Amino acid sequence: MILILTPNVDVKGAEYKRLMGVLSALPNVHSRVHNVHGAQQTLTEIYLIGDTSSLSLDDMRALPCVERVVRVSQSYRVLGRHKDDQRATGFEYNGVHFGQDNLNVFAGLCAVDTPEHVEQMMRALRENGQVCTRMGAYKPRTNPYSFQGHGKECLPYVFTLAGKYGIKVIAMEITHEDHVDEIRKALQKTGNKTGVMLQIGTRNSQNFELLKSVGRQNEFPVLLKRGFGITLEESLNAAEYLASEGNPKIVFCLRGMKSNMGDPHRNFVDFSHVPVVKRLTRMPVCVDPSHSVGTRESAPDGLLDVMHVTAQGVIAGANMVLVDFHPAPAEALVDGPQALLLKELPKFLEDIRIVREAYDKRVALARQE
């Protein structure tokens, strides 16, 4: 059960203390407090965990400071959509809105290699009106002898250049909780000119200790990739691990499933799950066409498979696109063969705009009386 308190509740006040006193006396129920900091107000939600079936909604609603009460179903207690649940979807981060109602594009380098390539990428993004990007510093690789990413060494120039080119959010994978501190320190040292969305990759989607530690911090939002060989339910539970520890600022990313049924694509594209995730949870949904398709092959119509697949995600209502670009793919140290070229960026963005417009029209049509 979730108690949603009146906005900006005074947690030092007598009323709040009275509420907490009542809750702590409930048998076999313990409470966990979540604060959701929005642009205008702070919302406090109290999750009642344990034997809540005998509690009445009316009794709970009558408690001091309580504005609304939601009885949650068993699954996805924090992130799920529950009956009579009008809580907002999404969040703001560093001036960018992430919700189930909008779309952000994160085009950038799979792996940071040189400052020159980072700068060329970011300049192209600014020229095309983009304020988000992807930049991989810590790379989880199948082969221990492959390039593992520049790690913390590259963070100062990545963050400084992001500031120079007006980048507000960088999606950056972390593979260990220490990387969060390295990122935080590097951001501070470079004057907090940009923001970071911590990416948890498909290989770590069931690294529960990593999920818990990233969930315990509230500073950075999280982009959680779906596990490539587990069910959707298992991956949504991974997201719930993050949220249950206190960080509900999560974007869920579909990136294809590992199966040779997807051949000749790198993974079997699973973007039909965009509306499913939006129905089951309040998370914005991202699609990653690059790691799904894994090549620059194109169809006879002249469109790259990466663009076709992006369109399939966007027409289904995706809220974010994470896509690999590179100024010189032949020189890329990771995933060059699937990278789009900087000269393809304007067309890629226009293609997305066309498809998003079609999606908006489909929604309007569906809502017509």
If the CB atoms of residues 286 and 311 are measured against ligand PEP, the closer one turns out to be 286
CA gap 75, 148 in Å, rounded: 36
Among 179, 249, 255, 266, binds ligand PEP (CB under 6 A): 255
Beta carbon of residue 110, minimum distance to ligand PEP (angstroms, whole number): 5
Between vectors from CA 233 to CA 229 and to CA 235, what angle results, nearest 5°?
Answer: 55
Among 265, 278, 291, 356, binds ligand PEP (CB under 6 A): 291
Between vectors from CA 322 to CA 321 and to CA 328, what angle results, nearest 5°?
Answer: 125
If the CB atoms of residues 335 and 351 are measured against Mn ion, the closer one turns out to be 335
Within 60-119, which residues bind Mn ion (CB under 5 A)?
110
Residue closest to 70 by CA, chosen among 97, 34, 37: 34
CA gap 346, 128 in Å, rounded: 7
* Contact between 304 and Mn ion per CB under 5 A: no
Beta carbon of residue 360, minimum distance to Mn ion (angstroms, whole number): 30
Residue closest to 115 by CA, chosen among 125, 105, 123: 123
* Contact between 202 and ligand PEP per CB under 6 A: yes
Beta carbon of residue 97, minimum distance to ligand PEP (angstroms, whole number): 22
Query: Which stretch, 4-12, 84-92, 199-207, 211-219, contacts ligand PEP (CB under 6 A)?
Result: 199-207
Beta carbon of residue 118, minimum distance to Mn ion (angstroms, whole number): 16
Cis status, amide bond into 327, omega within 30 of 0:
no
Q: Which residue number is nearest to ligand PEP in terms of Cβ?
A: 201
Using CB atoms within 10 A of its CB, is residue 15 exposed (0-12), middle (13-18) or buried (19+)?
middle
* Contact between 110 and ligand PEP per CB under 6 A: yes
Among 136, 248, 317, 327, binds ligand PEP (CB under 6 A): 136
**Can you list the alpha helix ranges (DSSP code H) found in 128-285?**
155-164, 178-189, 208-216, 232-244, 274-280
Residue 227, Cβ neighbours under 10 Å: how many? Answer: 20
Beta carbon of residue 154, minimum distance to ligand PEP (angstroms, whole number): 15
* Contact between 201 and ligand PEP per CB under 6 A: yes
**Can you list the alpha helix ranges (DSSP code H) found in the chain?**
14-24, 57-61, 115-127, 155-164, 178-189, 208-216, 232-244, 274-280, 289-293, 305-315, 345-367
Beta carbon of residue 292, minimum distance to ligand PEP (angstroms, whole number): 9
* Contact between 225 and ligand PEP per CB under 6 A: yes
Beta carbon of residue 110, minimum distance to Mn ion (angstroms, whole number): 4
Number of residues that bind Mn ion (CB under 5 A): 2
- The contact set with ligand PEP (CB under 6 A) reads 110, 136, 173, 201-203, 225, 255, 288, 291
- The contact set with Mn ion (CB under 5 A) reads 110, 335
